Amino acid sequence: MLANVFTKSTWDRWRGTTIAVVSLTVMLLFAMAVYRDIDLAIYTDLPEALRAMMNIPDGADVGSLAIGVLYGLYGAFTLAALALSMGSAAIAGEERRGTIGILLANPKSRTHVLAAKTAAMVLLIGAATLVLWGAAHVVPAILDVDMTGMRVGPYAFHLFVNALFYGFLAMAIGAWTGSRPAASGATVAVMVVSYFAVSVFPLVEGWENVARAFPWYYFDRANPVINGVHWGHIGLLVAASAIFLVAAAVGVNRRDLKDQEVGVTLIDRLRANPMTQKVADRLAGSTRVSRIWIKTASEHQGLLLVTALVMFFMMGVMMGPFYTLFDQTVLEFADEFPEAILAAVGGGDMSTAEGWYQVETFGLMAPIAVMVVTVAIGARALAGEEARRTMGLLLANPIPRSRVVLEKAWAMTVYGLAVGLATFAGVAAGSLLGRLGMDIGDIAATSLLVTLLGLAFGGLALSLSAATGRVKIAVFAPIAAALGFHLLNAFLPLNDSLAGYARWSPFYYYLTSDPLTNGMHWGHGAVLAGLTVALVGLSVVLFQRRDLRQPG
């Protein structure tokens, strides 16, 4: 038994943090190795304003761009995701698992528990940042890459403070609501919307200062990788984090904590309404859990709602009118973006509406959105039941294990399709509002392909959940795989001798055929669908053969 709350919290989280940091380090090594073979002229010939926006210092080796791309985008999102996961689980997670009563039965105050959880989060995020800082020195030395003009230390410090901001925000929401999904969903929404706003508003004439209202602005808008630490921006993030921490302490001490998270599901709400009661009773099935997929879907309805709304409004509807507001000079610069930079965010010609949506919506955000839902459901489908000690009750019903897996997979498929449909509807509406003239069939094809891509990684999460019974492994392994495969598909085609290996990445079968312009590539769609079916089938085999855990 571990000595205290701090030690236990640190022990529970160090594996996931280590996997994330090692994955980022490997990707940095790979990205720098690819960048070395790219002609410097594609960067040095860019306009000065554009080079400043992309963090390209004068005289820098092209390989140093990997720091900005890998750390400024993937690193920032990864560390923030780790922090918000720890923050949302600090109090709300203990309540959901039904362990808060056992924890507080010890002679420790609620404030002490919260402080210990906070210390563990700060330690792990700090250690992860320190490793990334070291990697940013070691990897260039191994590859003989010049780092002239790059200030990695200040950049890493901004990464650290930015991640803690989202961690403390999630902690405050979780402490007041006792709901981990609410804490995670709301914080992810703030992070995604903030990133989107800071990326787009400065490009729209007259809207430049609006970006200051969003926290992501204070992470890298001052270009700390070139200019060093911006203490004013750091001070704002630290002050906000301190406010969130105080709010979390007040919330956890004032609220009646729950022994286990209980919530009103969508089915419960429908049953309470006389107009929908009969339909809800039919959908819910009998007390023998005859509709496992309905139960699974209800458990993740909050996650679906937040994700679908972000993709429909922020990354779909609003992107069309924003494109029409761009200053003409920005559009003229768009054709000069280096292929390597655009490849990291999905590729596309930003001077066209299709290319704009591919870079801003379909390149990264749409795959992430679908995977957030499919991986969450796939990972918790089986391992989550074991962790919550409900698998025995579920299998006590006269149903085979294969049916449990298939119904869980069906719930994952339905929710993945729902996110894809929200993305399609949002982009189609954005095109109409902005009068962009995009083809509806091509938008539908791209939305279907991104759904199939997300389902493939959801299938991987499901198979790992079936094989190991460990939620963390089933979550972090597909995330790491998705990140690695995305970078393989982005950077391997830049080297003629390695381009053929990109076909081993599922992302190759997503945007390589340029579906926003050329429509559906049925062969690529078949590959992704076949991969999903194979992984679900593997999940059935693995789940039937494994002795299940029933934690006591």
* Mean pLDDT, rounded, of the chain: 79
| CA dihedral sign, ordered 450, 454, 455, 457 | positive
Q: Which residue has the higher pLDDT, 231 or 64?
A: 231
Confidence of residue 266 (pLDDT cuts 50, 70, 90): low
- Residue 278's alpha-carbon distances to 263, 265, 266, 290, 301, in angstroms, are 21, 16, 14, 16, 21
Question: How far apart (Å, rounded) are the C-alpha atoms in residues 423 and 520?
Answer: 16
**How many CA atoms are closer than 13 Å to the CA of 145, on its beta-carbon side?**
31
Whether the predicted pLDDT of 213 surpasses 60 = yes
Q: Which amino acid is at 485?
A: F
Enter the pTM of the model.
0.67
Distinct helix (H) and strand (E) counts, the chain? 29, 0
Confidence of residue 537 (pLDDT cuts 50, 70, 90): very high
> 3-class SS at 204?
strand
> 3-class SS at 259?
coil
Predicted local distance difference test score (pLDDT) of residue 215 = 93
**b or e along 366-384 (b: 16 or more beta carbons within 10 Å of the residue's beta carbon)?**
bbbbbbbbbbbbbbbbbbb
Question: How far apart (Å, rounded) are the C-alpha atoms in residues 460 and 496?
Answer: 30
| Average confidence (pLDDT) over 398-423 | 89
Q: Which residue has the higher pLDDT, 295 or 248?
A: 248
Whether the predicted pLDDT of 263 surpasses 70 = no
> What is the token pair recorded at 228?
């060093």
Residue 359 per-residue DSSP state: I
Predicted local distance difference test score (pLDDT) of residue 105 = 65
Q: Which residue has the higher pLDDT, 48 or 101?
A: 101
Confidence of residue 288 (pLDDT cuts 50, 70, 90): very low
Q: Which residues, 6 or more positions from 328, have their beta carbon under 8 angstroms from its beta carbon?
A: none
Closest residue by Cα to residue 415 from 269, 315, 291, 294: 294
CB–CB of 265/259 below 8 Å?
Answer: no
Question: How far apart (Å, rounded) are the C-alpha atoms in residues 252 and 339?
Answer: 49
